[in-house]
Structure 1
Amino acid sequence: MVTAEENKMLTQVGPGTPGGELLRRYWYPIAAAAELDENPVKSIRLLGEDLVLYRDRSGTLGLIDSLCAHRRAHLVLGVPEESGLRCPYHGWRFNENGQCLEQPAEKDRGHPYCEKVKLKAYPVRVACGAVFAYLGPLPAPELPMWDLMTEENVLHEIAYATLPCNWFQSMENAVDQDHLDWLHVAFSDYVLERQGRPDLRKRFWRPGEHKGDGDRARLKEMLYERNNLGILRRAVYGDRTKDDVDWRIGIQVVFPNFARAVNDLQIRVPVDDAHFTYFLIRAHWLKPGDVAKQDKVPYFHIPVPIEDPNRMGEIKWKDLDAHATQDMAAWIAQGAISDRTKELLCESDKGVRLLREMFLEQVQVVASGKDPLNVFRDPGEAKSISVPHVEDEDNWGYQQTQLRSRARTANKWSPVLTELIRKYFDEQEASEILKDPVH
């Protein structure tokens, strides 16, 4: 059983908390780079800190304290200059290092003291269409480039949603194989009933198989094992064997905060104790022989099916026919911060136990002054890191399943997937797929 003190370690993300100090050793995606084309200044809350992300007119990115050092005006109203961001209230200007560059009124009166004023600032990097931030001690580790981020001849996209619950509730879902049969099959069928579409048959989550075929698709054996990246999930379904990819390759959960799921890196970004951003970096494979052309990585928002865990009666059933939103509903339904001291864990919860043990263990690693798991200091090691997944043996085969099954992950709202459906299917079949998101 988790104690109240352990639960705090698992859920508190702010500065000075044990879990927060661990989490500050990692880079986090905080925005789609394309967002800054539409609005060059964005308010950011990350690990309990309020910040402003901006891009100045020379293209330099900065992530600085949200409030001006002068009269505490919010810098989300700031004006990007050729160099830095200018406060709208009295014109103080700050660069990407937080250094004050200009104090107009003080300069006019002969009393500038810019060199003495510096806002909190953090490093940012752009990779695969996402802006990443690091809030930990310097020197910053290398930004790890996971395989889906470096995949060639794919179309990338970004998707995200900010949810009203703690990040660890979502992360535990990544080591819970048994929820697939219930949340994404049985509950999904109930959603269709609520939507007035009970005649639609729910496809199973592997190509060519359907739930409802008796014992053939049931989970028969499960194993969670630690490896150099985090936790590997292995499974045997129905009449399959351990020679099948579900066991032989499995699904990799990467400590501390993401999993490779089909063509997504599903990253949990802690906002504060009671909120997190579910951030997807997606790679859509093309038909062999096709060449990807992409000027910029597009992004879209995933709808949040429950806005407030204190008002569970206000559920957006129309959005619950997709795996991403079904997961979100289950995480939010546990409350803003789950009270794990009252839960009843079972034999099927081995993965959850293992994840908690690893997190508490790595808290102690950081407390001892060492780098935790998956902090990379070697640029060569960080430039392309493999996260094995069952799709690797037939990327195009799985991509075709993605095209036809829009309920998987967040496909229902994907502009790139819509484009590919129209590209690879004739007009009639494309129309049928697009009008039926659980096809």
Structure 2
Amino acid sequence: MLKAEQNEAITRVGPGTPMGEVMRRYWQPALLAQEVAEPDSPPVRVQLLGESLVAFRDSRGEVGLIDSKCPHRRAPMFFGRNEEAGLRCVYHGWKFDTAGNCVDLPSEPPDSPLKAKINMTAYPTHEAAGVVWAYLGPRAEMPEAPDYEWMRAFKGGGGVSRTNERANWLQALEGGIDTTHSSFAHNNDLSTTSLLRQQDTHPKLEVEVTDYGFRYASIRRISENRRYIRVYQFVMPFQQIRPATVAWDGQPNDMPTMHGHLWAPMDDYTTAVYNFMAPTDLDIPLSREDFERSESRAGRGPEHFIGETYWLQRNASNDYLIDREVQRTQTYTGIEGINTQDFALQEGMDPICDRSREHLGTSDRAIIAARRLLLDAIEDVQAGRPLRGTDRQITSQIRPAEAILTEEDGDWRDYFKGELVARW
């Protein structure tokens, strides 16, 4: 468990907080690119790291991320007119470009020196793999924009989606890197992965700390001489990459993929979960339809959201539409959709989980490692040291792996030595 003051330090992300200062040294997924699909399209609200912002794509196709309030009288920029390479506040016509510079001041005399002095908060953005990334930290410490292998593998198909969760980012992340819970909360069907996980419900976890975070192996014994080993990558501060490459008989899947999540804090109590899937083998392309089917099976297809939002229809207000008869006779949860099952449990821990009251076991090794790295990162920022996961030359060269091994195959570290290196 964590002490109460440690829990407070690593869960709060607003400006000036210890973890907020850590988060601001990394590129953050701010929104999906499709939310600002066209030049001069309507602006959209963005909540990120406790800051209220507005995103817009200007006439040149560049995406701006600026303060949600006009610096004149603090009117909302969400209602602004996106026109001629800038966003114009409709209260008095003040107009700002993507860098936050005031480019028109029609309510003041033409010779007013005020325009040269006025600007608003604006953050650098980078568009890649269907995501608009933003950097909210000190410009002098800004790392290169992300270039994970799954982003490059999008040339072979796949996709990225988003779901909003009413829980602190850390309990959402910890749910994602907890491989053991899938044997219970997600015992939904007789799919390959579900069968493999149900063969051994108390996997052995082995964690190796790296320059980018850590990698961890989930080792499940499925027979006297066979082990199902899945190696995940955890990239600081909030990303997991995992594989889906083997079938029950140990042969390759027809459509091998890498997929995972980024848990971007909107504020202390809500999280934007970005879900991605890309092909592991570019010779076996992944269609958009394949990705959309996968999202629907997970319970986060378009049909599962409230209107045009990223909030699920099944939520705490309706107890996630739990079916107690299904729970009694078929599944552990009685809740439909893997994504929804996770949200029911994570959101039910309270907006910020009290980790001082936990009792952890051997299956929690990855969670313990993540917490240790996050606490270390706070100390690194305060001491001015480089942070794990900010070197693109390192983070761009990793991938996950899995296989069914016999005892003769030896240690997983040796077996996967070449498989854990990016190919694309």
Tell me whether 1:355 sits opposite 2:370 in the alignment.
yes
Tell me whether 1:322 sits opposite 2:324 in the alignment.
no
CA distance in 2, matches of 1:285, 1:332: 32
Deviation digits for residues 335-382 of structure 1 (CA, Å, limit 9, x no counterpart): 101111222223332222221111111110011012211112x6xx26
CA distance in 1, matches of 2:358, 2:135: 34
Q: Partner of 2:384: helix, strand, or coil?
A: coil
Q: How does 1:1-80 map to 2 (within 5 A)?
A: 1-37=1-37, 39-80=41-82
Deviation digits for residues 70-124 of structure 1 (CA, Å, limit 9, x no counterpart): 121111111112221111111100011111111102035x535111111011000
Gaps of 5+ in 2: 244-257, 296-300, 324-333, 406-424
Contact 1:148/1:265 (<8 A) preserved: no
CA distance in 2, matches of 1:145, 1:17: 28
Residue 424 of structure 1 corresponds to which residue in structure 2? none
RMSD: 3.1
Q: CA deviation at 1:292?
A: 7.0
One-letter identity of the residue aligned with 1:4: A
CA distance in 2, matches of 1:367, 1:135: 17
Gaps of 5+ in 1: 189-200, 394-439
TM-score by length of 2: 0.77
Among residues 102, 105, 109, which one is paired with 1:103 in the alignment?
A: 105
CA distance in 1, matches of 2:363, 2:4: 23
Tell me whether 1:255 sits opposite 2:236 in the alignment.
yes
Q: CA deviation at 1:131?
A: 0.5
Higher strand share: 2
Residue 388 of structure 1 corresponds to which residue in structure 2? 400
Distance of aligned partners of 1:4 and 1:152 in 2 relative to their CA distance in 1, 3 Å threshold: closer
CA distance in 2, matches of 1:241, 1:116: 73
Among residues 386, 389, 400, which one is paired with 1:374 in the alignment?
A: 389
Among residues 261, 269, 274, which one is paired with 1:274 in the alignment?
A: 269
Contact 2:222/2:228 (<8 A) preserved: no
Distance of aligned partners of 1:241 and 1:371 in 2 relative to their CA distance in 1, 3 Å threshold: farther
Contact 1:305/1:320 (<8 A) preserved: no
Q: How many residues were matched structurally? A: 362
Contact 1:286/1:292 (<8 A) preserved: no
CA distance in 1, matches of 2:224, 2:51: 48
Contact 1:305/1:316 (<8 A) preserved: no
Contact 1:170/1:331 (<8 A) preserved: yes
Q: How much identity, in percent, do the aligned residues show?
A: 30
Deviation digits for residues 308-332 of structure 1 (CA, Å, limit 9, x no counterpart): 5xx5x63234894322222222211
Residue 161 of structure 2 corresponds to which residue in structure 1? 159
Contact 1:145/1:382 (<8 A) preserved: no
Contact 1:160/1:277 (<8 A) preserved: yes
CA distance in 1, matches of 2:286, 2:385: 44
Residue 346 of structure 1 corresponds to which residue in structure 2? 361
Q: Partner of 1:360: helix, strand, or coil?
A: helix
One-letter identity of the residue aligned with 2:84: E
TM-score by length of 1: 0.74
Q: Partner of 1:356: helix, strand, or coil?
A: helix
Among residues 204, 214, 219, which one is paired with 1:236 in the alignment?
A: 219
Q: Partner of 2:134: helix, strand, or coil?
A: strand
Q: Partner of 1:236: helix, strand, or coil?
A: strand
CA distance in 1, matches of 2:169, 2:209: 21
